[in-house]
A and B are shown apart, each in its own frame.
Chain A
């Protein structure tokens, strides 16, 4: 499959990249690992006139321990995260989630920033141009209908990132830079939750860094992923859980974040309240799993069956919470 034509720009610094993005605005797209952008371009979903390559900007590629706080540059490869001894020891759920993305060769290419900024997906969107044209345009492709939810008045495309939910469960922040300056937001605020336009980034803005606060000493995490095959596939459901407990074994805090069930990673709001002050038993985990089941509203657009996926939210949430104990 041939790529459409474009001009390739390779800035040597972040400020130079931000200048280029401010100048070319909607005409420009960022390339880092290329595993998402080039597929989208081959399928005719995107046709940027300029492709701005961030790979020659060393200041964006690092993993650092900043007084207990973990800092990761957006250009860091997923494979580097999977193999980082710092991350495996202190934030194992992050390495665990990154290791489930596609397969090792794609982890060698794909970057943290690219993975967090994945577009939402839909079986009526991620198709060739001719396939989409025959079916007619939907909300996601500029039309005014949804092929998945009959009578749906919005786009239901699904966010299927694996790493974002784990980072959100760890309470991560995102540092975002633009030509006019930079801002730092909770990672959850990077996402709009909307299928049509899933990222809360202004034109010309770039995700440059993720920061993870130190976890309390007795903290465990787990990421559970449902997919057809043990490699390559995006999640049909994903559940990230991070739970802390005190010396007496009572939970001091916890977060549960779902993926592949809506337009963005979805935090189960009631989870922390249900977990805090409790001993984590199968019964408590089942209560949180019920809340996760209620919160999840998958639709039939990324393979498998929506009602099965929703049931698996319950199963995987319970499994993830109970597994956090074994993974302190």
Chain B
């Protein structure tokens, strides 16, 4: 299995990385680029903690091969804040106590951001459907939904 050089655009920055074909995007993000905000939970696509945005849409980075995403825009949780200025969704999560253990938080925030980019004023049902692919094992869903709706109002 030969390594191949791929160019990944992550949070607006280009990275040249030599990867083997069996390396998943979450492995490359965490272990090569040291962007450990993206979590690997189940590794089978079921839990959603590894969510990143690929060309603006939430996908599972544990089921995405790094060699297949060259030329696409990848956004991780590290890419949302502008310097010390947090993204409105991040602020709303803090203000509404939508974080408990924090393991699902990057995925919840990225998924919510993608929803609000497409649909700036979602209904509660639309928020629930959008985040339905991410599991919060602390079961703090009510606060998360409140935070996303509040972020929509503030943006």
Contact = CB atoms under 8 A, between A and B. Distances in A.
B21 A55 contact: no
Given A4-B22, A5-B22, A230-B132, A42 B43 contact: yes
Nearest to B130: A104
A268 to B, nearest CB: 30
Nearest to A38: B63
Interface stretch (A105-113, A133-141, A218-226, A273-281): A105-113
B76 to A, nearest CB: 14
B22 A6 contact: yes
Contacts of B59: 105, 108-109
B57 interface: yes
Interface stretch (B45-53, B79-87, B95-103, B146-154): B45-53
A103 B51 CA distance: 12
Interface residues of B, number: 31
Name the prevailing secondary structure of the B interface residues. Answer: mixed
Contact of A3 (B22, B48, B58, B111): B22
B155 interface: no
Interface string A1-43: 1111111101000000000000000000001001100110011
A38 to B, nearest CB: 5
Interface residues of A, number: 30
Contacts of A117: none
A31 B67 CA distance: 13
A38 B67 CA distance: 14
Contacts of A104: 58, 129-130, 132-133
B43 A105 contact: no
A53 B64 CA distance: 12
Interface of A: 1-8, 10, 31, 34-35, 38-39, 42-43, 51, 53, 55, 79, 102-106, 108-109, 230-232
